[in-house]
Chains A and B, each alone.
Chain A
Amino acid sequence: MTDFCMPSLGADMKTGTLVKWHVKPGDRLKRGDIIADVETDKGIMEIEVFEDCVIDELLLKPETEVPVGTVMAKIHSEVAKKVTEAKVPIKETAKEKHLIESTKPPVKTTVTSTPVTTDGKRLRVSPIARKLAAELGVDLTQIKGTGAEGAIQERDVRQAAALADKVEEPAIERPVEKPLETPAAPAKLPSSAEFQAGMRRAIAAAMSRSNREIPHYYLETQIDMSHPLKWLEMENQKRSIKDRILPVVLLIKATAKALTEIPELNGYWIDDRLQVEESIHIGFAISLRQGGLVTPAIHHADTKSLDELMAVL
């Protein structure tokens, strides 16, 4: 005896309602004969048997709605099947759902909170500004943003970081810093008027402080540069344009050399005594085309050749 089940007539058919049987127990059917009428969303459909068979038992009553795959009747085939195919009930196809990943139990995740200002409003911070603030240890709630609708942008964080350096850290922690050093040049130079103004402010602040706190004295001498400049001219003629050396490199090198001979000039007055610095770093002031000033430091200028100094510049 085999099961005759409610057939699936379409992917969106979930159930069928038996309307009426066309057979009774004992009836003989041929393959393709209609066994019943079934009502679906699309209307009443005739359903067939797929083999020659005899009806043994009708299990379902008319007007019953059942899911696809439900056994409706018991039948058997009289002729011994020469070939038996596995009659796989519909339920088994559900096993093939190995294709669909099993749901894992939910894992509790912690939601990281974003910084808010004191009045509880959400901060408008650009992604890169936020990233930079984390890197530089800048407190976003202390920054006034210059972006649209007060958004805190990259330049605001960089400025805040630079000013924080100036205001908070004593010279002892930054022996490399030269007194005239302005805030480190940012990786790029946004040329907005706002940034110009900001830079000017920073330069003014640094210079004012430098003059206030560090005694200044001035020495002057005259150096005849004709010989070195001539040498430079001849030297540069041998080189392609991109390899040529600027006159200022000679000055830097000379200064570095002089400091190796008179090390007392290369130091700080700290803790009521002179502390001489072993490394020789020369600060080189560059006027920016768009306005403003930066002073990169050329480290270990005494150990660098003219070419290396030029390259660093």
Chain B
Amino acid sequence: MKKKSGGKPESIQSDTSQHLIELLRQMLRIRRFEDKCAELYSAAKIRGFLHLYNGEEAIAVGVMQAMQPDDAIVATYREHGQALAWGIPMKTVMAEMYGKQGGCCRGRGGSMHLFDKERRFYGGNAIVGGGLPLAVGLALADKKLGRNRVTCCFFGDGAAAEGEFHEALNLAALWQVPVLFVCENNQYAMGTALKYSHSNPNLAEKADNYGIANATVDGMDVLAVEAAAHKAVDIVRTEVKPFFLECITYRFRAHSMFDPEFYREKAEVEQWRERCPINTLFKTIQEKGWLSDTEWNQLNQEVDSEIAAAIAYAETCLWEPVEDLTRFVYSERGAGV
């Protein structure tokens, strides 16, 4: 869960059992949620495109540990993990995917366009690379207005080939704005492997070319991601300049629901599954004797309960009336910044 504002002022990574179990819980919560979405999609409850985060949970959870509550998040169409880790209520996310009025965006956005104004979650973007310039602008505003905030921008290896990626990195470095660029390198841009996309597959090196401080981290290890994120966010916030954090990861499921995965070998998927971030952390916690079987079962139960409640909520939510179709094209009276 997103930290409340009473949390630690500077980013120190805790290594207590409580903290590790919390990380485990957050990742498990995302994993179960994503699995449930697959089931609901198969039952035609969720429609459109569905891009699931299985395997990448360590990145969303690890990075969010280093953020402050009034920081901003810009994400991609594969953003359920970020949304949940940042604290958007699960039931409003579920209702949004159902397309119901009780969804976080009244059902107007769907899976790929989750937004939350109070928590400064700026979407959810179906245009690969589309969020990067936006993040630069948000950070620019913070710098101009003298606000000590960080904008965290998630994107994938595919986006690193888009023109907007290069334009945004150049602007961020030129203007020295407080953006944390988090590249979730899961080795594939939909069905195109890294080596078929990039003349230089070392993505962090691209940041070098723009003079942006950068690091590469094992995206399957939540503790490593968290540590790297703390370091990176500290630099961004105190030195007011951009940072590029490349996280090497893998998505266990297909690109989206209707994807037969011709482009990758099952053996490769199995290999990466052995490095599942949840299993890895679970093992670490078990070895330290910090989690009994009962407690583990209870953890699972709580997660399942939350998901069930979210579904129940989504099921009973109303549809937005068709008469309201043309609302939210222009601001309504009293709306707006």
A-side residues, CB < 8 A to B, are 5, 7-11, 13, 31-32, 40, 42-45, 47-48, 50, 68-69, 82-90, 93, 96, 99
Chain B interface bracket (under 10, 10 to 19, 20 to 34, 35 or more): 20 to 34
Q: Which residues of A contact B304 (CB under 8 A)?
A: 82-83
A44 touching B312, Cβ below 8 Å: no
Which of B11-19, B207-215, B255-263 forms contacts with chain A? B255-263
Q: Which residues of B contact A11 (CB under 8 A)?
A: 47-48
- Write 14 A-B pairs (CB below 8 A) sorted by A numbering: A7-B41, A7-B42, A7-B43, A8-B43, A11-B47, A42-B258, A47-B42, A50-B35, A69-B44, A82-B301, A83-B308, A84-B308, A89-B43, A99-B322
CB distance from B313 to the nearest CB of A (A): 12
B41 touching A86, Cβ below 8 Å: no
Quick one: closest B residue to A93, CB to CB? B44
Q: Which residues of A contact B322 (CB under 8 A)?
A: 99
A199 to B261, CA, bound (A): 82
B315 at the interface (CB under 8 A from A): yes
For chain B, residues 23 to 47, give those with C-beta under 8 angstroms from any C-beta of chain A.
35-36, 38-39, 41-45, 47
Quick one: closest A residue to B32, CB to CB? A31
A99 to B308, CA, bound (A): 26
A48 to B47, CA, bound (A): 18
A44 touching B39, Cβ below 8 Å: no
Quick one: closest B residue to A39, CB to CB? B260
Q: Which residues of A contact B259 (CB under 8 A)?
A: 42
Q: Which residues of A contact B153 (CB under 8 A)?
A: none
Known: A83-B305, A90-B43. 4 other contacts (CB 8 A): A8-B41, A8-B44, A82-B305, A83-B308
CB distance from B172 to the nearest CB of A (A): 37
- The dominant DSSP class at the A interface is loop
**Do A50 and B44 contact each other (CB < 8 Å), given the known contacts A40-B258, A96-B319, A99-B319?**
no
**Total inter-chain residue pairs, C-beta < 8 Å:** 62
B45 touching A10, Cβ below 8 Å: no
Interchain CB contact (< 8 A) of B260 among A7, A44, A50, A86: A44
A11 to B262, CA, bound (A): 20
B222 at the interface (CB under 8 A from A): no
B311 at the interface (CB under 8 A from A): yes
Q: Which residues of A contact B258 (CB under 8 A)?
A: 9-10, 13, 40, 42, 45
Quick one: closest B residue to A69, CB to CB? B44
Q: Which residues of B contact A45 (CB under 8 A)?
A: 258, 260
**Do A9 and B257 contact each other (CB < 8 Å), given the known contacts A82-B301, A82-B304?**
yes
B43 touching A88, Cβ below 8 Å: yes
For chain B, residues 289 to 337, give those with C-beta under 8 angstroms from any C-beta of chain A.
301, 304-305, 308, 311-312, 315, 319, 322
A11 to B304, CA, bound (A): 27
B262 touching A43, Cβ below 8 Å: yes
Interface centre among B39, B258, B259, B304 (most CB of A within 10 A): B258
A96 to B315, CA, bound (A): 11
**Do A88 and B312 contact each other (CB < 8 Å), given the known contacts A9-B258, A32-B35, A82-B304?**
no
Q: Which residues of A contact B312 (CB under 8 A)?
A: 85
Q: Which residues of B contact A32 (CB under 8 A)?
A: 35
Q: Which residues of A contact B305 (CB under 8 A)?
A: 82-83
Q: Which residues of A contact B301 (CB under 8 A)?
A: 82-83
Interface centre among A5, A8, A31, A84 (most CB of B within 10 A): A8
CB distance from B138 to the nearest CB of A (A): 33
Q: Which residues of B contact A13 (CB under 8 A)?
A: 258
A69 to B258, CA, bound (A): 16
A10 touching B311, Cβ below 8 Å: no
Quick one: closest B residue to A89, CB to CB? B43
CB distance from A46 to the nearest CB of B (A): 9
A312 to B266, CA, bound (A): 94
Quick one: closest B residue to A47, CB to CB? B42
B35 touching A90, Cβ below 8 Å: no
Quick one: closest A residue to B47, CB to CB? A11
A92 to B299, CA, bound (A): 32
A223 to B258, CA, bound (A): 103
A68 to B42, CA, bound (A): 9
Q: Which residues of B contact A5 (CB under 8 A)?
A: 43
A40 to B38, CA, bound (A): 17
